[in-house]
Chain A
Amino acid sequence: MSLVWKLLRQHISLPQFAGFFFANLLGMLIVLLGVQFYYDVLPVFTQGDGFIKKDYLIVSKRISMVGSFGGRSNSFSPADIDEIRNQKFCRSVGAFTSSHYEVGASMGAEGMGYMSTEMFFESVPDRFVDTDRDGWHFDPSADRTVPIILPRSYLAIYNFGFAQSRSLPKLSEGVIGMVDLAIHLRGNGHEEIMKGRVIGFSNRLNTILVPESFMEWSNRTFAPEADTAPTRLIVEVDNPTDDAIARFLQEKGYETDSDKLDAGRTTYFLKVVSGVMLCVGLLISALSFYILMLSIYLLVQKNTTKLENLLLIGYSPWRVGMPYQALTVGMNLLVLMLALGFLSLLRGFYIDTISVLFPQMEDAGMWPALALGIVLCLLVSVLNVCAIHAKVLAIWKHKG
């Protein structure tokens, strides 16, 4: 054991350090738990499709009885679109384009019978779709396969309604992805059969989505004359929970898919709860940091003569402060490790529940807590080291 340490550990107060240790542990644990819980639970509300950017709303005009019978158009004019684009909350606007020709789809697989249905397509500008996703492209000259994103509710309707009543096998998302659909396109005197492939399901988009390039090509080919004024808009906003959005929509008589706003509110609530937790944790951590600094100052004060003598016989202030610095940094590291250990225990309790309720959610792991823990630990350690050095220097200058 180093003689310097043997000398300087005199007067170390175990109760004070234990106080710091447990307070810091508690603070750290609460902070990390807040952050980890936030990141674990957030995907439940924002769970994406992965296909569509997060903060968007789908806006349509309300269909009223008068409108239905009076033949009033419920499409958006360019002026309407500009008006939305000029709103403060709006980041960008894209129009839904519908197919203006006949679309039929049929699906057959051995032992499943044969299904055929009339349907339609819609597309949104590719910038709203996560286009990095494999397969979300269409080139009319090369491809004969159309990538499609279906609403997840369609699958539910099939599985729990149709398949149930007809004793048909239930289909998983994976199986659907492997089945080729035959797509019949007809209009403008042309007819074509193409392959369709479902590349994913969306909770948020109540439409059958195809790539923009396919839509342009097919409308040009099968319905060159049709009016393509959009009836739905996709609006990317800064913050879906913004009141201004709700007011604007109300004023203009537009409708939006409200669950997104609900999710926005829930997310906001989650943020508030996590934020409060984080603040409480940080406050406890700050107080424990204060306790530690007080104990160290007291310790340094009690050992002033020893420290001064060490300095006078040639020890440098860094060397003299090092035992205390190592002590605090070591304790911080220990606190971090214990906090992470407890956190993983606590997380085990709720993560199971979450994964049972939302099986499709991916477990993101403890990275957020780990990263924050390391940052906090580093920050506190740097502060400790500097404060101790400053205190030793004060002794050097006889101001301790």
Chain B
Amino acid sequence: MDKIELKNTLPEVFALRDDIRSDIWHQEVTFERGHLYLVEAESGTGKSSLCSYIIGYRDDYQGIICFDGKNIRHNKVQDWVELRKRSLSMLFQELRLFPELTAYENVAIKNNLTGFKKKKQIEAWFGALGIGDKMHEKVGRMSFGQQQRVAMMRALVQPFDFLLADEPVSHLDDENGRVMGEIMMEEARAQGAGVIVTSIGKHIGLDYEKTFKL
């Protein structure tokens, strides 16, 4: 997948508002593969909605969203399954980890599906992100910041054309945020993927090519 296009897209809940001033809603916007975007938003402007629409979790919007010119409203269940496995990866703001599993198992459950990374690579990431000793700890017992790093690793163990990172560093200190940004961009560059980072304040210091105000 090379392009994500939003054509006059607007969450249905905003349909009655006439004070929409946004670089995304009600605009023609294109995200291209191989580029790095930042979507800055204030609370309640539909940032999570945007991510949900693109990942196919919700479709309560007006207008059109296209992947490579194809309206995603017509996607079947199987299309989404394939997209989520091979083209679209997402780091959820609410993380969506499984607290009953260990940190490593949370990453492995995705890697088992895609078979994309070796165990060694995953262990190296755990070390680099400073949670090497927590690998076999239940995720439910880890802090939110530590969980964020686990979620990031899970987002990276699959092939993708676009990576959506919904507030990836909200609970990380600068150093860990920087390391995470590096790992993320290294992986994205290796895959030639596009990256869309959202933020409501604190964001990873990266060389964004374009910034949108939601």
Contact = CB atoms under 8 A, between A and B. Distances in A.
Most A Cβ at <10 Å: residue of B81, B114, B158: B81
A393 B92 CA distance: 21
B101 A313 contact: no
Interface in B73-113: 77-78, 81, 84-85, 90, 92, 96-98, 100-101, 105, 108-110, 112-113
Interface residues of A, number: 17
Question: 5 shortest A-B CB distances, which residue pairs?
Answer: A314-B85, A314-B84, A316-B81, A309-B96, A3-B109
Contacts of B77: 316-317, 393, 396
Interface string B31-42: 000000000000
A312 interface: yes
Contact of A314 (B81, B92, B98, B105): B81
Interface stretch (A4-12, A22-30, A199-207): A4-12
Contact of A309 (B78, B81, B98): B98
A245 to B, nearest CB: 61
Given A3-B112, A393-B77, A396-B77, A313 B105 contact: no
13 contacts: A6-B100, A7-B101, A10-B100, A310-B109, A312-B57, A312-B96, A313-B110, A313-B113, A314-B84, A314-B110, A314-B113, A314-B158, A315-B113
B98 A7 contact: yes
Interface of A: 3-4, 6-7, 10, 306, 309-310, 312-317, 393, 396, 398
A27 to B, nearest CB: 35
A6 B96 contact: no
Contacts of A316: 77-78, 81
A31 to B, nearest CB: 37
Contacts of A312: 55, 57, 84, 90, 92, 96
A3 B108 contact: yes
A193 to B, nearest CB: 84
